Structure 1
Amino acid sequence: MRKQRLPIILLLAYSLMAVGGVADEVTIVSDRWYPFNGIPNAPDPGYMIEMARYGLEQGGHSLNYQIMSWQHSIDLVRQGKKNCIVGAYKSDAPDFIFSDQHHAVDQMAFYTRINEPWRYQHVDSLAQQRLGVINGYAYKNDIDAYIKANRTSDRVIAAKGKYALENNLLALMQGKLDVVLGSRTVITQVLAKQQWQDKLQIAGYANTMSKIYIACSPNNPKSIQYITLINAGIEQLRKTGQLQALLDKYQVADWQHIEAVDN
């Protein structure tokens, strides 16, 4: 039923835009998380950015995509100083405005150096490992609790900045970390780009396949409108075949029929 209603919702949104004559510059922020979102103004800024831009522009808005740390992104969107974040689990910011349609799927994986015997079994198996994570990320309740409890020790290193993930992976290869936790989709592409595939391996998963969203500020009355436009734009792209072409460009699969849960 939702697929049948989306074009009506989209036409209504466009009509309201035309009557009001209001065109917004919608600012979406995040840390770099390619292929979901990459470098602003690059030819390949990330497929979630391209999807968001399409929907917003169809509604008469423009997109201003900015890169900053993940924690800073959440803080500014929560305050209403920026409009939306991209690449969010619901657990990242449960007070944000999420749609009932997710915009990607992913799974968090543990990485070790190649041929290391350690495997993730449960949170207790991390006890003797130096774990690399990214500041401000939400992973899974028990792992988040472990990270919080060990932040002041050398068992958890929380990287910050634009190259937090790459720095974690380098530290892992150099023996400064024992395990790195991160997005399987993102790390797969980083390893391929840097030709590190033969240096690191997956050593278990933190969660099942999880839903990822573009989420907007709880302090902006237009947040629902922005998400409605983005969702309607994605539906149009899917129906015309343009979405599949976009996903092929980024070497990812359509998430529509992949079983996933909210994390």
Structure 2
Amino acid sequence: MPGAEKRPLRLAAALVFLLLASQAASGLDGGEPFSERPVRLVADDWCPQHCESGTPHKGYIVDIVERALRLEKVPYVIEYRPWGRALAETQQGSFDGLLTPTVAEYPQFLFPREAVGYQEYCLYVRKDDPWKYARPEDLLGRRVAFLKDSGLGELEAFFERNARRTPTQQFSDGKGYTSRIFTFLARKRTDVVIITSDVYHFNLKSGIIANNFRQAGCLGAERLAVGLSQANPERSKRLAVILDQGIRQLRQSGELKKITDNYGIADW
């Protein structure tokens, strides 16, 4: 049968991966066992990805990461900080990992192979505003509001080059951030709000923001993964193996799809 000779190699590779995951969790590879120093993760309040209140939802990414670590019997804690502070403290090594940066825009982190979701930044305007977005130059002459340290890629460089013609207002995150920034837009203190589509729709469905806005364009989907600190690279590499193994088990069992379905999020 064609390809039959490859099966032993594939089986051997799978067994090696399982062994590495087991060793990483137990510390048999020479690293400190996670049982002695539990994994510390940090997130910002960014529902439906991670929800600080935890009521009635923890967030689909939190659900995925927690269940992946439990499958691998790795103890953990998740704490919440504003986004900018969470970024800095993870880079410094105060936390093992950050929930959840985009892989392309945050090269300062080590990432597992497995994604925990995708997000897309979109641009929102008042419903009576006919403006549409197709390229950065469309923003010339518009006032723009967004979360500080969002990781907007080429747009950030565009804003720096065109600061006079495209003034920006960068918000700090925290509880009530989405309500605050859309109130800012409703009161005509800005012309455009940039925020991820999942956050917008979650807050719209929850009644946190009014149905007075519309989507004027998007920047493209980006892969999300747990950003692991480079301050302790060996520990982060072991944690990446564990997360990959746990997430793959969730996908194979159908549990990952149940989580995403619960939040109305499309699987990737």
TM-score (norm 1): 0.86
Assess, with a 3 A threshold, how the Cα gap between structure 1 residues 235 and 132 changes in structure 2: closer, same or farther. same
| CA displacement 1:172-222 (0-9 Å, x = unmatched) | 12222110001011111111112646311000112x222111110011121
2:168 aligned residue (128, 135, 156): 156
1:61-95: per-residue Cα shift (whole Å, max 9, x none)?
22211221211111111111111111211344212
Given that 1:109 and 1:181 are in contact with CA atoms closer than 8 Å, whether structure 2 keeps it comes out as yes
Quick check: 1:241 aligned with 2:241? no
Which of 187, 201, 210 is matched with 2:200 structurally?
A: 187
Alignment root-mean-square deviation, CA: 2.5
Q: 1:85 touches 1:214 (CA, 8 Å); kept in 2?
A: yes
Distance 1:161 1:17, change over 3 A: closer
SS in 1 for 2:190: coil
Q: State the structure with more CA Rg.
A: 2
Relative distance call for 1:225 and 1:114 in structure 2 (3 A) is: same
Matched, 1:214 2:222: no
- Is 55-64 or 171-180 further displaced after alignment? 55-64
Structure-2 separation of matches of 1:71 and 1:180: 19
What's 1:146 paired with?
Answer: 158
Q: Could you say which residue in structure 2 is the equivalent of 1:122?
A: 135
Deviation track 1:22-68 (CA, whole Å, cap 9, x = no partner) reads: 41321211222211111265452111112111222233322211221
* Residue correspondences, number: 252
- Alignment match, 1:259: none
The aligned amino acid for 2:224 is: I
Unaligned runs of 5+ in 1: 256-263
Q: CA deviation at 1:154?
A: 7.9
> Helix, strand or coil for the counterpart of 1:209?
strand
For the structure 1 residues 197 and 161, does the alpha-carbon distance in structure 2 shift closer, same or farther, using more than 3 Å as the test?
closer
Q: Deviations over 1:152-183 (max 9, x none)?
A: 99810000031333311121122221100010
What is aligned with 1:50? Answer: 63
Find the counterpart in structure 2 of residue 232 from structure 1. 245
Change (3 A) 1:149 1:71: farther
